[in-house]
Structure 1
């Protein structure tokens, strides 16, 4: 996917997030993030937006800590969120394609990394904001969901920080039934190794439309379909969470 596509997605998803958060109200509970209210979600996402902006705008070439959560609420919090989201979109849009800065997953360039990562970050949290309203979330485009599954499996969970591990080798298959995309995830005592292929027999298969698989792998909804060893689906639920630290 092109950087421009990710930027368009980031722009749209941030605006949808703000609209849903405003409609739900900052006191509303976020169904997909137990223990959070909308204000927690908005503070977190706005902080991440500013953190990401700083790497590109300031050209930090090594890890730089975030600026912390704001002591804001209500309308002031929503204004702060919208300002930070706008600056992120504008910074990435105006950045040189060969900008040099820190990133933490493989990508064609730092700019490609940050555009992709923030598009997915904002989309998942937009779903969180809409969960505070109840009902079905705004649909995620299937091809974008496939890219997000790829980022999660072959990016985040390829890192040494992944806790999705088993004592004896097992194979987990992930299948997007509407696009035909398939991943084989090889589990062991080491970080998972994921490939875009059928990869032989699997101990468990998670299958369904790409958008639902995407959100299920991010633990935002149940798996639409799981066959084989249910303990591997349960392992994913228990160990796969990506936390801020």
Structure 2
């Protein structure tokens, strides 16, 4: 294993754990089960999708170049073979990340440095969200790890939304406060149409013009709501709820 930061080791362990939990949730007998949090999908498609994501991303983040890869992706096998495909692609992706230089050039769609470090967090969170999807499809959704959820909320705010992955309205203006009741983490955001600013919660805030909203919930519920996996009304909401819709990335 290469010399990784504590965060990168955490994401790598999360990828292992979440991938194993997803694999354990899906068997041959339930491949046709609908995934209600991903309309139109069944578990076969979800597992195949994630296997393709692993394969595609891995083949380019090990190239040592920040040039944009082509968009050609493999097609996942169908039927029971998709389970072995998923397990193989997960294992190869974990191995690739274990041996990856995080500072090596690597394309990514985020607004930060084009280095391989981006993919440790992204692969862990992609897997965690889809693990929840798979477990929800068979009726046993387990909340996401609180620390990983806090990191996922940060990713929504510092990467997903600034990179144009907003699924909610892009004309909202106001200040939004998010509070994770189980971890004590909080975020204050200013929305101005298509722009978003994460404000320093340790300073006195000037809310400025526009509406305001606040949402409280566990870190897992906050993240799942931002990803459109659970309805916003699961959270304790005050103020203008349409501002929270503007933070959705899924």
TM-score range, shorter chain: 0.7 to 0.9
Q: Paired residue for 1:29?
A: 34
Residue 214 of structure 1 and its aligned partner are, at CA, apart by 1.1
Tell me the CA shift for residue 176 of structure 1. 0.8
Residues 230, 93 of structure 1: CA spacing in aligned structure 2 closer, same or farther, 3 A cutoff? Answer: same
For residue 230 of structure 1, the aligned residue among 224, 230, 241 is 241
User: Following the alignment from structure 1 to structure 2, what is the Cα–Cα distance between the partners of residues 7 and 211?
Assistant: 19
Paired position in structure 1 for 2:156: 152
Which deviates the most, 115-124 or 38-47?
A: 38-47
Aligned to 2:181: 177
Deviation at 1:138, TM superposition (A): 2.4
Residue 228 of structure 1: CA displacement? 1.0
CA contact under 8 A between 1:160 and 1:191: conserved in structure 2? Answer: no
In the TM superposition, structure 1's runs of 4+ consecutive aligned residues that sit over 6 Å from their partners are none
State whether structure 2 residue 92 is matched by structure 1 residue 81: no
Asked if 1:203 is matched to 2:212, the reply is yes
Pick one of 187, 190, 195 that aligns with 2:191: 187
Q: Deviation at 1:44?
A: 1.2
Alignment partner for residue 144 of structure 2, among 140, 144, 154?
140
Equivalents in 1 of 2:87, 2:23: separation in Å? 7
- Give the alignment's TM-score, normalised by structure 1: 0.87
Deviations 1:179-201 (Å, cap 9, x if unpaired)? 22111221122322223527455
User: Contact between 2:58 and 2:96, CA under 8 Å: does it hold in 1?
Assistant: yes
Deviations 1:142-162 (A, max 9, x none): 111111100101211123454
Q: CA separation in 2, counterparts of 1:166 and 1:97?
A: 33
Q: Which piece of structure 1 moves more, 156-165 or 38-47?
A: 156-165
Query: What's the TM-score, normalizing by structure 2?
Result: 0.85
- Contact residue 27 and residue 37 of structure 1 kept, 8 A: yes
Aligned partner of residue 214 in structure 2, secondary structure? strand
Structure number with the higher helix fraction is 1
Pair 19,241 (structure 1): closer, same or farther in 2 beyond 3 Å? same
Q: Report the secondary structure of 1:183's partner residue.
A: strand
Long gaps (5+) in structure 1: none
Counting strand residues as a fraction of each chain, which structure ranks higher? Answer: 2
The answer on whether the counterparts of 1:146 and 1:210 sit within 8 Å (CA) in structure 2 is: yes
Q: Which residue in 2 is equivalent to 1:13?
A: 18
- 2:198 is paired with a residue whose SS is strand
Structure 2 unaligned spans of 5+: 1-5
- Paired positions, count: 238
Report the Cα offset of residue 24 of structure 1.
6.0
